[in-house]
Amino acid sequence: MKLKPLGDRVLVKRAESETKTKSGIFIPDTAQEKTTQGFVVAVGDDEAIKVKPKDKILFDKYAGTEIKVDGEDHVIMRNDDIQAVIEE
Amino acid sequence: MKLKPLGDRVLVKRAESETKTKSGIFIPDTAQEKTTQGFVVAVGDDEAIKVKPKDKILFDKYAGTEIKVDGEDHVIMRNDDIQAVIEE
Amino acid sequence: MKLKPLGDRVLVKRAESETKTKSGIFIPDTAQEKTTQGFVVAVGDDEAIKVKPKDKILFDKYAGTEIKVDGEDHVIMRNDDIQAVIEE
Amino acid sequence: MKLKPLGDRVLVKRAESETKTKSGIFIPDTAQEKTTQGFVVAVGDDEAIKVKPKDKILFDKYAGTEIKVDGEDHVIMRNDDIQAVIEE
Amino acid sequence: MKLKPLGDRVLVKRAESETKTKSGIFIPDTAQEKTTQGFVVAVGDDEAIKVKPKDKILFDKYAGTEIKVDGEDHVIMRNDDIQAVIEE
Amino acid sequence: MKLKPLGDRVLVKRAESETKTKSGIFIPDTAQEKTTQGFVVAVGDDEAIKVKPKDKILFDKYAGTEIKVDGEDHVIMRNDDIQAVIEE
Amino acid sequence: MKLKPLGDRVLVKRAESETKTKSGIFIPDTAQEKTTQGFVVAVGDDEAIKVKPKDKILFDKYAGTEIKVDGEDHVIMRNDDIQAVIEE
């Protein structure tokens, strides 16, 4: 089963919590409710989208809609809610 | 009897509840009031519309207006309220 | 006496309540305050208007302004408040 | 003395209450606070204005600013607040 | 000393209260807090400005900022807050 | 040390209070919290900016952000918050 | 590990508190919650961005999202939240 995002929507698989600490990026307590990390799964066809599947990204926590795909946590968000690509 | 949506409006037939669990996509409790699934029945003539009749879609629950057509639950929503096409 | 809508305004004669049930379209209780049906009487000169006099339409209930013309209930609304044309 | 409206402003002389009932157009109680009728006195130079002096119009009651000119009730409103021309 | 308004700003000298009654234009009690009159002193260079110094105008009372120039009451407002030119 | 404003930002040095009374421009009590005067120190590269360093200006009091540069009160504001140039 | 901001996002490393006093720029108490200083680390590809890595900047305190990179305080903000470049 597959989800194909429309327009400026991006499907993101939430990164697991332990990954966050290992990566060296740590979101302090006060901001913990605002950002989080994940991996791009699929993107819409909007030209403004600069991320591609497998990119690790930082996005606004309140962005988008939570959805479970094959049992795992995903978020469908708008491209503008993605703040940065995480390169390691 | 037939409904022809105008402009960026899309007519969607709500998917039945049991379909949701079988499909492998499951919307967790906290988000259950925000998204849902259905099948496109008819679309307006706006060029931005990328879905077509019979597409299975994921859309924002609060989008659009509920309407019964020939006894079945439908929703008329704006194209921008459609988040993704569900391919199985 | 005649009303000529301006710009994107559309003059609509409200369909009678019994018509609603016969037509097969039925608006369930929870949504009953949001949509309703009527017949287009006259339209403004805005190019975005795709409906024409005599079209049966579905529109947002809270749209526009109520007005009695020759004793019958009419509504003057903006074109964007029209959701779909009803073909039977 | 004369008032020359600017831009998209339109100067309207409020129609008297008795005129309303004679004309066949009657605004029901629930909507009485939303619309009213009047005669165009002068218009600004905005190209979007399609009404001209002496046109009888239907406009949104809360539109514009009340002003007395030579002792009679007038309203200065924006062109977009005019809903329709009344032809009799 | 001179004030040169910028962009779409217009400097207006408030008309004295007695002028209002003599002019035949009288703003009724209910609207008295919404409009008032004055004379244009200087205008910005925005092309949308159609008034010129010495024009007597009607403007929205809450528009702009009060300022005393050489001891007299002035208001700096945006061009869009001017409703009409008063010709006598 | 120097501050170079970006885009439509303008750096303004607040005029001292005594300057205000001497200049003949006096902001009455009721408006005292809305406007004030100052001298332009530096401007961003936005073409809409029509003021230049050393211009004495009138600006909206609540505009921008207070900052001390070399011990003196400055304000960084957007160009649109400047109401007029004061010529003496 | 590296963060690559997207679009009009800019990654900024917060300047330490002692730097602020030495620099001669001092943000007074009343404004202390509105502005702050930092160094640009990386910028998105939006053409409107005029700052570059290593620029010392003044930005709106409430702008953006706090994030720790390699143990140090950073902020990801939109380009428009940057007020000025600090040159020393």
Tell me what ipTM this predicted complex has.
0.70
Cα–Cα distance measured from residue F39 to residue B65, given in angstroms and rounded to the nearest whole number? 56
Q: Find the mean pLDDT for residues G7-22.
A: 76
Q: Find the mean pLDDT for residues G8-26.
A: 71
Q: What is the pLDDT of residues F39-79, one digit of tens each?
A: 999 999 999 999 999 999 999 877 888 888 888 889 999 99
Task: Count F/G contacts: CB-CB distance under 8 Å.
Answer: 63
Q: Cβ distance F54 to G16 under 8 Å?
A: no
Query: Is D62's Cβ below 8 Å from some Cβ in C?
Result: no
Q: Which residues of E touch F25 (CB under 8 A)?
A: 1, 3, 67-69
Question: In the prediction, which pLDDT does C25 show?
Answer: 61
Confidence of residue A25 (pLDDT cuts 50, 70, 90): low
CA distances from B13 to B59, B65, C23 (A): 11, 12, 18
Decide if pLDDT at G66 tops 50. Answer: yes
Cβ separation D24–C76 shorter than 8 A: no
Nearest to G23 by CA among G72, G84, G86, G85: G86
CA distances from F61 to A74, E66, F35, F78 (A): 47, 12, 4, 12
Question: How many CA within 13 A on the CB side of residue C64?
Answer: 29
Question: In the prediction, which pLDDT does A27 show?
Answer: 54
Decide if pLDDT at G26 tops 60. Answer: no
Residue ranges per domain, chain G? 1-22+32-70+80-88
Class of domain G1-22+32-70+80-88 (CATH, top level): mainly beta
Name which of B83-87, C75-79, F10-14, F71-75 the model is least confident about. Answer: F71-75
Decide if pLDDT at C35 tops 80. Answer: no
Query: Is A72's Cβ below 8 Å from some Cβ in B?
Result: no
Decide if pLDDT at C70 tops 70. Answer: yes
Question: In the prediction, which pLDDT does A17 show?
Answer: 58
Query: Is A77's Cβ below 8 Å from some Cβ in B?
Result: no
Q: What is the pLDDT of residues A12-24, one digit of tens each?
A: 999 875 444 445 5
Question: In the prediction, which pLDDT does C26 show?
Answer: 56
Residue in C6, C7, C67 nearest the CB of D25: C67
Query: Is G15's Cβ below 8 Å from some Cβ in F?
Result: no
Nearest to G48 by CA among B22, F6, F14: F6
Higher-scoring residue by pLDDT: D76, G19: D76
Confidence of residue B67 (pLDDT cuts 50, 70, 90): confident
Domain spanning B1-23+32-46+57-88: CATH 2.40.420.20: no
Q: Which residues of E touch D45 (CB under 8 A)?
A: 50
Decide if pLDDT at B84 tops 80. Answer: yes
Decide if pLDDT at B79 tops 90. Answer: yes
Decide if pLDDT at B71 tops 70. Answer: yes
- Tell me what the pLDDT averaged over chain F comes to: 82
- Tell me which of E33, E35, E83, E85 to substitute to probe the interface with D (most D C-beta atoms closer than 10 Å): E83
Question: What's the gap in Å between the CA of A12 and the closest CA on chain B?
Answer: 12
Cα–Cα distance measured from residue E55 to residue E13, given in angstroms and rounded to the nearest whole number? 10
Decide if pLDDT at F19 tops 50. Answer: no
CATH topology of domain E1-52+61-75: 10 Kd Chaperonin, Protein Cpn10; Chain O (2.30.33)
Q: Find the mean pLDDT for residues D23-50.
A: 74
CATH number of C9-85: 2.30.33.40
Residue in C28, C30, C84 nearest the CB of B5: C84
Higher-scoring residue by pLDDT: G6, D60: G6
Query: Is G58's Cβ below 8 Å from some Cβ in A?
Result: no
Question: In the prediction, which pLDDT does A77 show?
Answer: 94
Q: Which residues of F touch E4 (CB under 8 A)?
A: 84-87
